[in-house]
Copies of this chain bind each other. A is one copy, B any other.
Amino acid sequence: MFNNTSQSVHYNLLSDYQQIRSVTEAICETVDMEEFAAQSASFVSPPKWHLGHTTWFFEMFVVQATMKHEPLYHDQYPYLFNSYYNSMGDRIQSESRHLITRPTVEEIYDYRKYIDEKVAFCISEGLLVESSLEALKIGLQHEQQHQELLLMDIKHIRHSALLSKKYDSKIFSEQHYLPQAIHYLQVQKGIYEIGAKPSENGFIYDNESGRHHQYLESFQIADRPVNEAEYLDFISDGGYSNPLIWLSEGWDWVKANHVKHPLYWSNDGDGYCVYTLSEGKRPISPNRAVMHISYYEAQAYANWAGKRLPSEFEWEIAASKIDKEVTEIDFLLGNDNRNQNESSSRSFFFGIGWEWTQSAYLPYPYYKAPPGALGEYNGKFMINQMVLRGGSFATPIDHIRTTYRNFFHPEKRWQFSCFRLADWI
Protein backbone atom coordinates (compact mmCIF):
# COMPACT_ATOMS: atom_id res chain seq x y z
CA MET A 1 0.00 0.00 0.00
CA PHE A 2 1.44 3.33 -0.87
CA ASN A 3 -0.01 6.67 -0.15
CA ASN A 4 1.28 9.08 -2.73
CA THR A 5 -1.82 8.60 -4.79
CA SER A 6 -4.92 10.60 -5.43
CA GLN A 7 -6.51 12.89 -2.91
CA SER A 8 -9.59 11.54 -1.28
CA VAL A 9 -11.63 14.54 -2.25
CA HIS A 10 -12.60 13.90 -5.85
CA TYR A 11 -14.11 17.23 -6.88
CA ASN A 12 -10.90 18.06 -8.68
CA LEU A 13 -10.88 15.45 -11.40
CA LEU A 14 -8.09 17.00 -13.37
CA SER A 15 -5.61 17.11 -10.54
CA ASP A 16 -6.60 13.55 -9.61
CA TYR A 17 -5.92 12.50 -13.17
CA GLN A 18 -2.56 14.20 -13.28
CA GLN A 19 -1.52 12.97 -9.89
CA ILE A 20 -2.40 9.30 -10.62
CA ARG A 21 -0.76 9.37 -14.01
CA SER A 22 2.40 10.81 -12.48
CA VAL A 23 2.62 8.00 -9.93
CA THR A 24 2.81 5.45 -12.73
CA GLU A 25 5.74 7.29 -14.18
CA ALA A 26 7.36 7.68 -10.79
CA ILE A 27 7.22 3.90 -10.37
CA CYS A 28 9.10 3.52 -13.66
CA GLU A 29 11.73 6.07 -12.81
CA THR A 30 14.34 3.59 -11.66
CA VAL A 31 13.51 0.93 -14.22
CA ASP A 32 16.52 0.26 -16.44
CA MET A 33 16.06 0.78 -20.13
CA GLU A 34 16.71 -2.93 -20.77
CA GLU A 35 14.00 -3.92 -18.32
CA PHE A 36 11.29 -1.93 -20.05
CA ALA A 37 10.61 -4.55 -22.71
CA ALA A 38 11.44 -7.60 -20.59
CA GLN A 39 8.84 -10.33 -20.02
CA SER A 40 10.17 -12.87 -17.58
CA ALA A 41 7.13 -15.13 -17.75
CA SER A 42 4.02 -15.41 -19.89
CA PHE A 43 1.93 -13.79 -17.15
CA VAL A 44 4.28 -10.82 -16.78
CA SER A 45 3.93 -7.72 -18.95
CA PRO A 46 6.87 -5.50 -19.88
CA PRO A 47 6.84 -2.18 -18.01
CA LYS A 48 6.67 -0.24 -21.24
CA TRP A 49 3.54 -2.13 -22.17
CA HIS A 50 1.85 -0.99 -18.95
CA LEU A 51 2.76 2.60 -19.83
CA GLY A 52 1.22 2.22 -23.26
CA HIS A 53 -1.80 0.14 -22.27
CA THR A 54 -3.03 2.50 -19.56
CA THR A 55 -2.74 5.35 -22.03
CA TRP A 56 -4.60 3.41 -24.70
CA PHE A 57 -7.41 2.94 -22.17
CA PHE A 58 -7.85 6.70 -21.85
CA GLU A 59 -7.46 7.25 -25.56
CA MET A 60 -10.14 4.76 -26.52
CA PHE A 61 -12.69 5.11 -23.74
CA VAL A 62 -12.34 8.84 -23.02
CA VAL A 63 -10.71 10.76 -25.87
CA GLN A 64 -12.14 8.79 -28.80
CA ALA A 65 -15.51 8.48 -27.07
CA THR A 66 -15.65 12.24 -26.46
CA MET A 67 -14.00 13.84 -29.47
CA LYS A 68 -15.63 12.16 -32.41
CA HIS A 69 -13.31 13.52 -35.11
CA GLU A 70 -10.10 12.95 -33.27
CA PRO A 71 -7.88 10.57 -35.27
CA LEU A 72 -6.13 7.69 -33.54
CA TYR A 73 -2.74 8.70 -32.20
CA HIS A 74 -1.24 5.79 -34.13
CA ASP A 75 -3.23 3.23 -36.05
CA GLN A 76 -1.16 0.30 -34.79
CA TYR A 77 -1.17 1.18 -31.10
CA PRO A 78 -4.58 -0.38 -30.44
CA TYR A 79 -3.20 -3.70 -31.69
CA LEU A 80 -0.20 -3.41 -29.39
CA PHE A 81 -1.85 -2.01 -26.28
CA ASN A 82 -5.27 -3.63 -26.09
CA SER A 83 -5.09 -6.17 -23.28
CA TYR A 84 -8.11 -8.42 -23.50
CA TYR A 85 -11.06 -6.41 -24.85
CA ASN A 86 -12.65 -8.47 -27.60
CA SER A 87 -14.92 -5.51 -28.31
CA MET A 88 -11.90 -3.42 -29.20
CA GLY A 89 -10.50 -5.57 -31.97
CA ASP A 90 -7.48 -7.74 -32.57
CA ARG A 91 -4.44 -7.57 -30.37
CA ILE A 92 -1.01 -9.01 -29.85
CA GLN A 93 -0.93 -12.22 -27.82
CA SER A 94 -0.24 -11.36 -24.22
CA GLU A 95 2.77 -13.68 -24.04
CA SER A 96 4.33 -11.86 -27.02
CA ARG A 97 4.39 -8.40 -25.52
CA HIS A 98 8.17 -8.63 -25.24
CA LEU A 99 8.24 -8.24 -29.02
CA ILE A 100 7.21 -4.62 -28.64
CA THR A 101 10.69 -3.18 -28.99
CA ARG A 102 8.93 -0.38 -30.84
CA PRO A 103 7.50 2.10 -30.10
CA THR A 104 10.44 2.98 -27.90
CA VAL A 105 10.01 3.97 -24.29
CA GLU A 106 10.54 7.54 -25.29
CA GLU A 107 7.83 7.31 -27.93
CA ILE A 108 5.47 5.82 -25.39
CA TYR A 109 6.14 8.70 -23.03
CA ASP A 110 5.31 11.04 -25.90
CA TYR A 111 2.09 9.11 -26.36
CA ARG A 112 1.26 9.50 -22.68
CA LYS A 113 1.90 13.21 -22.83
CA TYR A 114 -0.23 13.67 -25.91
CA ILE A 115 -3.19 11.75 -24.51
CA ASP A 116 -2.83 13.46 -21.14
CA GLU A 117 -3.24 16.80 -22.86
CA LYS A 118 -6.30 15.58 -24.72
CA VAL A 119 -7.87 14.28 -21.53
CA ALA A 120 -7.06 17.52 -19.74
CA PHE A 121 -8.74 19.39 -22.54
CA CYS A 122 -11.82 17.20 -22.32
CA ILE A 123 -12.04 17.75 -18.58
CA SER A 124 -11.34 21.44 -18.50
CA GLU A 125 -13.61 22.20 -21.41
CA GLY A 126 -16.40 20.19 -19.86
CA LEU A 127 -16.76 17.90 -22.85
CA LEU A 128 -17.27 14.71 -20.92
CA VAL A 129 -20.71 13.19 -21.04
CA GLU A 130 -21.86 10.76 -18.40
CA SER A 131 -20.49 7.63 -20.06
CA SER A 132 -17.07 9.09 -20.79
CA LEU A 133 -16.91 10.58 -17.30
CA GLU A 134 -17.62 7.12 -15.94
CA ALA A 135 -14.95 5.68 -18.23
CA LEU A 136 -12.49 8.29 -17.00
CA LYS A 137 -13.11 7.27 -13.41
CA ILE A 138 -12.69 3.62 -14.26
CA GLY A 139 -9.56 4.56 -16.18
CA LEU A 140 -8.07 6.06 -13.03
CA GLN A 141 -8.85 2.94 -11.01
CA HIS A 142 -7.45 0.91 -13.87
CA GLU A 143 -4.25 2.97 -13.90
CA GLN A 144 -3.86 2.35 -10.19
CA GLN A 145 -4.33 -1.38 -10.61
CA HIS A 146 -1.56 -1.29 -13.16
CA GLN A 147 0.66 0.52 -10.69
CA GLU A 148 0.49 -2.57 -8.51
CA LEU A 149 0.95 -4.83 -11.54
CA LEU A 150 4.00 -2.79 -12.51
CA LEU A 151 5.58 -3.42 -9.14
CA MET A 152 4.73 -7.13 -9.34
CA ASP A 153 6.23 -7.38 -12.80
CA ILE A 154 9.31 -5.31 -12.05
CA LYS A 155 9.97 -7.58 -9.08
CA HIS A 156 9.58 -10.68 -11.21
CA ILE A 157 11.75 -9.34 -14.03
CA ARG A 158 14.46 -8.19 -11.67
CA HIS A 159 14.49 -11.44 -9.76
CA SER A 160 14.61 -13.46 -12.97
CA ALA A 161 17.85 -11.80 -13.88
CA LEU A 162 20.52 -13.81 -12.17
CA LEU A 163 22.16 -10.58 -11.05
CA SER A 164 19.09 -9.15 -9.43
CA LYS A 165 19.38 -5.94 -7.57
CA LYS A 166 17.28 -3.74 -5.32
CA TYR A 167 14.75 -1.33 -6.64
CA ASP A 168 15.85 2.04 -5.38
CA SER A 169 12.69 4.00 -5.10
CA LYS A 170 11.10 5.93 -2.30
CA ILE A 171 7.70 5.14 -3.69
CA PHE A 172 7.53 1.58 -2.54
CA SER A 173 8.67 -0.51 0.40
CA GLU A 174 7.98 -4.07 1.49
CA GLN A 175 9.22 -3.42 5.00
CA HIS A 176 6.71 -4.14 7.74
CA TYR A 177 6.58 -5.39 11.29
CA LEU A 178 4.19 -8.13 12.27
CA PRO A 179 3.89 -9.08 15.96
CA GLN A 180 4.47 -12.74 16.64
CA ALA A 181 1.58 -13.00 19.06
CA ILE A 182 -1.60 -14.15 17.40
CA HIS A 183 -5.20 -13.78 18.50
CA TYR A 184 -8.36 -15.16 17.02
CA LEU A 185 -11.26 -12.81 16.57
CA GLN A 186 -14.65 -14.39 17.21
CA VAL A 187 -17.66 -13.66 15.02
CA GLN A 188 -21.11 -14.99 15.89
CA LYS A 189 -23.37 -16.68 13.38
CA GLY A 190 -26.10 -14.71 11.71
CA ILE A 191 -27.15 -12.85 8.60
CA TYR A 192 -24.60 -10.29 7.42
CA GLU A 193 -24.64 -7.70 4.72
CA ILE A 194 -21.98 -8.18 2.12
CA GLY A 195 -20.79 -6.04 -0.76
CA ALA A 196 -20.30 -2.36 -1.32
CA LYS A 197 -22.99 0.24 -0.89
CA PRO A 198 -23.41 2.72 -3.73
CA SER A 199 -21.12 5.48 -2.67
CA GLU A 200 -21.40 9.18 -3.27
CA ASN A 201 -17.81 10.14 -3.67
CA GLY A 202 -15.90 6.89 -3.77
CA PHE A 203 -15.44 4.49 -6.63
CA ILE A 204 -16.83 0.96 -6.51
CA TYR A 205 -16.33 -1.85 -9.02
CA ASP A 206 -19.23 -3.76 -10.47
CA ASN A 207 -17.98 -7.03 -9.03
CA GLU A 208 -18.13 -5.83 -5.42
CA SER A 209 -21.49 -4.07 -5.60
CA GLY A 210 -24.81 -5.81 -5.23
CA ARG A 211 -25.17 -5.38 -1.49
CA HIS A 212 -26.79 -8.58 -0.31
CA HIS A 213 -27.13 -10.96 2.61
CA GLN A 214 -25.07 -13.94 3.58
CA TYR A 215 -25.68 -16.25 6.47
CA LEU A 216 -22.46 -17.07 8.27
CA GLU A 217 -21.97 -19.80 10.82
CA SER A 218 -19.97 -18.74 13.88
CA PHE A 219 -16.27 -18.56 13.12
CA GLN A 220 -12.94 -17.30 14.37
CA ILE A 221 -10.23 -15.65 12.35
CA ALA A 222 -6.57 -14.79 13.08
CA ASP A 223 -5.70 -11.15 13.64
CA ARG A 224 -2.61 -11.35 11.43
CA PRO A 225 -1.30 -13.30 8.44
CA VAL A 226 0.96 -16.34 8.84
CA ASN A 227 4.58 -15.26 9.23
CA GLU A 228 7.78 -16.51 7.64
CA ALA A 229 8.93 -18.44 10.70
CA GLU A 230 5.65 -20.29 10.95
CA TYR A 231 5.86 -21.12 7.27
CA LEU A 232 9.39 -22.43 7.75
CA ASP A 233 7.96 -24.88 10.31
CA PHE A 234 5.65 -26.14 7.61
CA ILE A 235 8.56 -26.64 5.24
CA SER A 236 10.68 -28.30 7.92
CA ASP A 237 7.83 -30.64 8.74
CA GLY A 238 7.82 -31.89 5.14
CA GLY A 239 4.97 -29.72 3.96
CA TYR A 240 6.11 -29.89 0.36
CA SER A 241 6.49 -33.65 0.34
CA ASN A 242 3.23 -34.82 1.89
CA PRO A 243 0.53 -35.15 -0.77
CA LEU A 244 -2.20 -35.75 1.79
CA ILE A 245 -2.40 -32.12 2.85
CA TRP A 246 -2.60 -30.76 -0.69
CA LEU A 247 -5.39 -30.35 -3.13
CA SER A 248 -4.93 -32.83 -5.94
CA GLU A 249 -4.14 -30.13 -8.51
CA GLY A 250 -1.94 -28.40 -5.97
CA TRP A 251 0.11 -31.55 -5.57
CA ASP A 252 0.42 -31.88 -9.33
CA TRP A 253 1.65 -28.28 -9.40
CA VAL A 254 4.23 -28.97 -6.68
CA LYS A 255 5.62 -31.96 -8.55
CA ALA A 256 5.55 -30.45 -12.03
CA ASN A 257 7.33 -27.30 -10.89
CA HIS A 258 9.53 -28.86 -8.21
CA VAL A 259 8.17 -26.34 -5.72
CA LYS A 260 9.95 -26.44 -2.40
CA HIS A 261 9.35 -22.98 -0.94
CA PRO A 262 7.55 -19.70 -1.65
CA LEU A 263 8.45 -17.68 -4.70
CA TYR A 264 11.47 -15.44 -4.07
CA TRP A 265 12.82 -17.66 -1.30
CA SER A 266 16.18 -19.29 -1.78
CA ASN A 267 18.53 -21.35 0.29
CA ASP A 268 22.24 -21.21 -0.34
CA GLY A 269 22.97 -23.58 2.50
CA ASP A 270 22.84 -21.07 5.34
CA GLY A 271 19.09 -21.06 5.72
CA TYR A 272 16.39 -19.36 3.73
CA CYS A 273 16.55 -15.85 2.40
CA VAL A 274 13.85 -13.80 0.73
CA TYR A 275 14.30 -11.49 -2.19
CA THR A 276 12.36 -8.26 -1.81
CA LEU A 277 12.34 -5.43 -4.24
CA SER A 278 13.01 -2.75 -1.67
CA GLU A 279 15.63 -4.50 0.44
CA GLY A 280 17.19 -7.06 -1.88
CA LYS A 281 17.91 -10.40 -0.24
CA ARG A 282 17.31 -10.66 3.49
CA PRO A 283 16.99 -13.54 5.97
CA ILE A 284 13.50 -14.74 6.82
CA SER A 285 11.95 -13.29 9.92
CA PRO A 286 9.19 -14.12 12.42
CA ASN A 287 8.02 -10.53 12.11
CA ARG A 288 7.24 -10.63 8.44
CA ALA A 289 4.23 -12.13 6.72
CA VAL A 290 5.08 -14.97 4.36
CA MET A 291 4.44 -13.53 0.90
CA HIS A 292 4.16 -14.70 -2.70
CA ILE A 293 2.18 -17.76 -1.78
CA SER A 294 -0.12 -19.58 -4.18
CA TYR A 295 -3.61 -20.62 -3.13
CA TYR A 296 -2.38 -24.20 -3.22
CA GLU A 297 0.31 -23.44 -0.68
CA ALA A 298 -2.01 -21.42 1.54
CA GLN A 299 -4.56 -24.21 1.52
CA ALA A 300 -1.95 -26.90 2.23
CA TYR A 301 -0.53 -24.89 5.11
CA ALA A 302 -3.98 -24.42 6.61
CA ASN A 303 -4.65 -28.15 6.28
CA TRP A 304 -1.35 -28.92 7.93
CA ALA A 305 -2.14 -26.50 10.75
CA GLY A 306 -5.55 -28.10 11.32
CA LYS A 307 -7.29 -24.91 10.31
CA ARG A 308 -8.73 -23.45 7.14
CA LEU A 309 -8.78 -20.26 5.08
CA PRO A 310 -11.63 -17.83 5.71
CA SER A 311 -14.32 -17.31 3.11
CA GLU A 312 -14.34 -13.92 1.47
CA PHE A 313 -17.53 -13.11 3.41
CA GLU A 314 -15.97 -13.98 6.75
CA TRP A 315 -12.96 -11.92 5.84
CA GLU A 316 -15.10 -8.94 4.88
CA ILE A 317 -17.14 -9.05 8.07
CA ALA A 318 -14.09 -9.45 10.29
CA ALA A 319 -12.21 -6.66 8.54
CA SER A 320 -15.18 -4.31 8.61
CA LYS A 321 -15.75 -4.85 12.31
CA ILE A 322 -12.23 -3.63 12.90
CA ASP A 323 -12.33 -1.12 10.13
CA LYS A 324 -14.82 1.03 11.95
CA GLU A 325 -12.18 2.21 14.34
CA VAL A 326 -9.37 2.51 11.88
CA THR A 327 -8.27 5.84 10.50
CA GLU A 328 -6.36 6.38 7.37
CA ILE A 329 -3.19 6.65 9.40
CA ASP A 330 -3.66 3.12 10.60
CA PHE A 331 -3.43 1.85 7.08
CA LEU A 332 0.13 2.90 7.04
CA LEU A 333 1.13 1.04 10.17
CA GLY A 334 2.45 -1.84 8.15
CA ASN A 335 5.10 0.44 6.78
CA ASP A 336 8.50 0.99 8.17
CA ASN A 337 8.09 4.46 9.52
CA ARG A 338 5.57 3.60 12.18
CA ASN A 339 6.37 2.97 15.81
CA GLN A 340 6.55 -0.78 16.07
CA ASN A 341 5.32 -0.79 19.65
CA GLU A 342 2.12 0.87 18.70
CA SER A 343 1.12 -1.86 16.32
CA SER A 344 -2.27 -3.28 17.06
CA SER A 345 -3.87 -6.28 15.51
CA ARG A 346 -6.66 -4.23 14.03
CA SER A 347 -4.39 -2.85 11.38
CA PHE A 348 -3.19 -6.11 9.83
CA PHE A 349 -6.02 -6.62 7.44
CA PHE A 350 -4.66 -4.11 4.96
CA GLY A 351 -1.46 -2.97 3.43
CA ILE A 352 0.77 -6.03 3.69
CA GLY A 353 -0.53 -8.55 1.19
CA TRP A 354 -3.58 -9.73 -0.66
CA GLU A 355 -5.02 -12.59 1.38
CA TRP A 356 -6.29 -15.73 -0.23
CA THR A 357 -9.79 -16.71 0.79
CA GLN A 358 -11.52 -20.03 0.30
CA SER A 359 -14.05 -18.38 -2.02
CA ALA A 360 -14.18 -18.83 -5.76
CA TYR A 361 -14.52 -15.62 -7.76
CA LEU A 362 -18.17 -15.67 -8.78
CA PRO A 363 -20.85 -13.03 -9.33
CA TYR A 364 -22.79 -11.53 -6.45
CA PRO A 365 -26.57 -11.64 -6.55
CA TYR A 366 -28.07 -9.31 -9.16
CA TYR A 367 -24.72 -8.93 -10.91
CA LYS A 368 -24.94 -7.90 -14.55
CA ALA A 369 -21.86 -6.97 -16.53
CA PRO A 370 -22.26 -3.45 -17.95
CA PRO A 371 -22.96 -3.15 -21.67
CA GLY A 372 -20.12 -2.42 -24.11
CA ALA A 373 -16.41 -2.94 -23.87
CA LEU A 374 -16.20 -2.06 -20.19
CA GLY A 375 -18.45 -5.01 -19.53
CA GLU A 376 -15.36 -7.08 -20.22
CA TYR A 377 -13.58 -5.55 -17.25
CA ASN A 378 -14.50 -7.97 -14.48
CA GLY A 379 -17.32 -10.37 -15.22
CA LYS A 380 -15.70 -12.53 -17.84
CA PHE A 381 -13.03 -13.71 -15.43
CA MET A 382 -15.45 -15.36 -13.04
CA ILE A 383 -14.19 -18.92 -13.40
CA ASN A 384 -11.25 -20.87 -12.00
CA GLN A 385 -10.00 -17.99 -9.89
CA MET A 386 -10.05 -17.46 -6.13
CA VAL A 387 -10.83 -14.23 -4.30
CA LEU A 388 -8.16 -12.37 -2.39
CA ARG A 389 -9.00 -9.63 0.04
CA GLY A 390 -7.13 -6.83 1.76
CA GLY A 391 -4.46 -5.03 -0.19
CA SER A 392 -0.70 -5.07 -0.32
CA PHE A 393 2.40 -2.90 0.03
CA ALA A 394 1.87 -2.08 -3.61
CA THR A 395 -1.83 -1.28 -3.54
CA PRO A 396 -2.84 2.37 -3.98
CA ILE A 397 -4.69 3.52 -0.91
CA ASP A 398 -7.79 4.26 -2.99
CA HIS A 399 -8.13 0.54 -3.51
CA ILE A 400 -8.04 -0.33 0.15
CA ARG A 401 -11.52 -1.22 1.37
CA THR A 402 -13.28 -4.11 3.05
CA THR A 403 -15.40 -4.94 0.01
CA TYR A 404 -12.69 -4.98 -2.68
CA ARG A 405 -12.44 -8.32 -4.50
CA ASN A 406 -9.12 -9.18 -6.06
CA PHE A 407 -8.78 -12.50 -7.86
CA PHE A 408 -6.06 -14.79 -9.20
CA HIS A 409 -5.71 -18.33 -10.42
CA PRO A 410 -4.78 -20.70 -7.60
CA GLU A 411 -1.26 -21.38 -8.87
CA LYS A 412 -0.29 -17.72 -9.27
CA ARG A 413 2.04 -16.20 -6.72
CA TRP A 414 3.91 -13.35 -8.27
CA GLN A 415 1.32 -10.99 -6.79
CA PHE A 416 1.91 -9.81 -3.22
CA SER A 417 -0.18 -12.59 -1.75
CA CYS A 418 -0.33 -13.97 1.77
CA PHE A 419 -2.99 -15.61 3.94
CA ARG A 420 -4.41 -15.85 7.42
CA LEU A 421 -6.03 -18.78 9.17
CA ALA A 422 -9.63 -19.23 10.28
CA ASP A 423 -11.67 -21.94 11.93
CA TRP A 424 -15.14 -22.77 13.13
CA ILE A 425 -15.94 -22.09 16.75
Does B380 contact A248, Cβ atoms closer than 8 Å?
yes
Q: Tell me which residues from 22 to 38 in chain A have a Cβ below 8 Å from any Cβ of chain B.
A: 32-38
Does B39 contact A98, Cβ atoms closer than 8 Å?
yes
Pick the residue among B76, B87, B410 that contacts A383 (CB under 8 A).
Answer: B410
Binary flags per residue of A163-176, CB closer than 8 Å to B gives 1, else 0: 11100000000000
Binary flags per residue of A45-86, CB closer than 8 Å to B gives 1, else 0: 000100000000000000000000000000010011000101
Residue among A86, A101, A103, A164 facing the most chain B CB atoms (10 A cut-off): A101
Shortest CB-to-CB span from A257 to chain B, Å, is 15
Interface of A: prevailing SS = mixed
Give chain B residues whose Cβ lies under 8 Å from the Cβ of A113.
none
Does A102 contact B164, Cβ atoms closer than 8 Å?
yes
Does B32 contact A104, Cβ atoms closer than 8 Å?
yes
Does B38 contact A36, Cβ atoms closer than 8 Å?
no
Binary flags per residue of A203-232, CB closer than 8 Å to B gives 1, else 0: 000000000111101000000000000000
With A215-B213, A360-B362 as known contacts, state yes or no: A162 contacts B79, CB within 8 Å. Answer: yes
Give chain B residues whose Cβ lies under 8 Å from the Cβ of A365.
217, 424
Which residues of A are in contact with B by a Cβ distance under 8 Å? Answer: 32-40, 48, 76, 79-80, 84, 86-87, 92, 98-105, 157-158, 160-165, 189, 191, 212-215, 217, 243-244, 246-251, 295-296, 299, 308, 358-360, 362-363, 365-366, 375-376, 380-384, 410, 424
Q: Name 26 A/B residue pairs within 8 A (Cβ), A-sorted.
A: A32-B102, A34-B102, A34-B104, A34-B105, A37-B37, A38-B99, A76-B162, A86-B243, A87-B244, A99-B162, A101-B157, A101-B160, A102-B163, A102-B164, A102-B165, A191-B191, A191-B215, A214-B215, A244-B375, A250-B383, A296-B383, A299-B383, A358-B362, A360-B360, A365-B424, A384-B384
Closest 5 CB pairs of A and B: A360-B360, A86-B243, A215-B215, A102-B163, A33-B33
Given contacts A102-B164, A247-B382, 8 further A-B contacts (CB under 8 A): A35-B101, A37-B38, A86-B243, A86-B244, A87-B244, A101-B161, A212-B217, A248-B383
